[in-house]
Amino acid sequence: MTEPRPAGAVHVRAPGKINLSLAVGPKGEDGYHPLATVFQAVTLYEEVLAVPDEVIRVSVTGRHADRVPTDSRNLAHRAATLLAEATGIDAGVHLQITKGVPTAGGMGGGSADAAAALLACDLLWGTGLAREELGHLAAELGADVPFALTGQTAVGLGRGDALTPALARGRFHWVLAIIEDGLTTPEVFRAWDQLNSGARLAPRISDALMQALVAGDPRRLAGHLRNDLQIAAIELQPRLRDVFKAFDDTSALRALVSGSGPTVAALAPDHAAALAIAAAVERADVADEVLVVSGPAHGARLVESVRDSE
């Protein structure tokens, strides 16, 4: 977004995420699976420019933009609508989304849009909600939306939306292998149910993983990365087998599917190694795109606000 901003516009940026650990419990009577997850926000962002308008509308450009709905199914659209209803605001907004996070890639791109839209509309409309109040609205929109607001590293319980900040020292460097044939979260959970019909254990977070984060040690962390949805994602997207094989032939410490996939995130020893790993995976030609990112990253935050000219 390098063009001049319209007067009154608000530009907010929100990050994508990687699930360092995702433990899944059996589906409850409410139809949801209890989760225990550790999120880490990474330096791959959704950009949302909120411009005053007569109605609430959305336009999308950027990575996989053609696959994103712009009507009321869009999470950013729903976020603006929810905020307006919750605060009694009778105003419109044009949400101009520039996507950087893969669509249906298990990295929470839609959730980042929603979090950015909540903050942008709150600032644009002057509703003045505290972050905690925005967090309550975020939880109504989806399990990953509250984390996109807070960013950094956090433990998520329940449906993933009951957040507790987690201490993570230093920087962690990741190589992302992106598959454009996305997977939807419901279909991956359905596949998990079929593979784990007798599951009874409650999900939990490894103490060793949390200690590795505090130590800022990628080699220790690698031994405790986990995703219970990974086998289901591979069953649905067999191309992932070649992706993991490509990472096995590099200095990557560990690779795992992020969230419900199909994006694969590989932890690197350092930034230089991440660049070398990315180059090797690109040469293997097993993914549609390969990126290097790091974490933790900030949650949704204001980039620019353009006041009306007097």
Distance CA 222, CA 243 (A): 18
Residue 34, marked binder: no
Cα distances (angstroms) measured from residue 305 to each of 10, 49, 64, 124: 4, 9, 27, 9
**E strand or H helix at 234, and its extent?**
helix 230-236
Mark whether 245 is an active-site residue. no
Find out whether 4 is annotated in a ligand binding site: no
Q: 265: closest CA among 282, 234, 290?
A: 290
Give yes or no for a contact between 107 and 264, defined as CB atoms under 8 angstroms apart.
no
Q: Is 112 annotated as a binding residue?
A: yes
Instruction: State how far the Cα of 182 lies from the Cα of 207, in Å rounded to an integer.
Output: 32
Q: What's the DSSP call for residue 108?
A: -
Measured CA to CA, the distance from residue 129 to residue 209 in angstroms comes to 34
Alpha-carbon gap, residue 8 to 251, rounded angstroms: 48
144 part of the active site? yes
User: Are residues 79 and 38 in contact, defined by beta-carbon separation less than 8 angstroms?
Assistant: no
Cα–Cα distance between 182 and 294 in angstroms, integer?
Answer: 22
Residue tagged active-site, from 17, 113, 122, 228? 17
Is 299 known as a binding-site position?
A: no
Residue that the structure tokens 């390098």 belong to: 2
Query: Annotation-wise, does 103 bind a ligand?
Result: yes
Confirm whether residue 109 is marked as ligand binding: yes
Catalytic residue among 113, 122, 144, 228: 144
DSSP SS3 for 11: strand
Strand-pair category, 254-257 with 162-165: unpaired
Beta bridge partners of 236: none
Q: Pull the structure tokens for residue 173.
A: 């460097």
Residue 142 is labelled as binding a ligand: no
**Known binding-site positions:** 102-112
Residues annotated as catalytic (active site), given as ranges = 17, 144
**Known binding-site positions for ATP:** 102-112
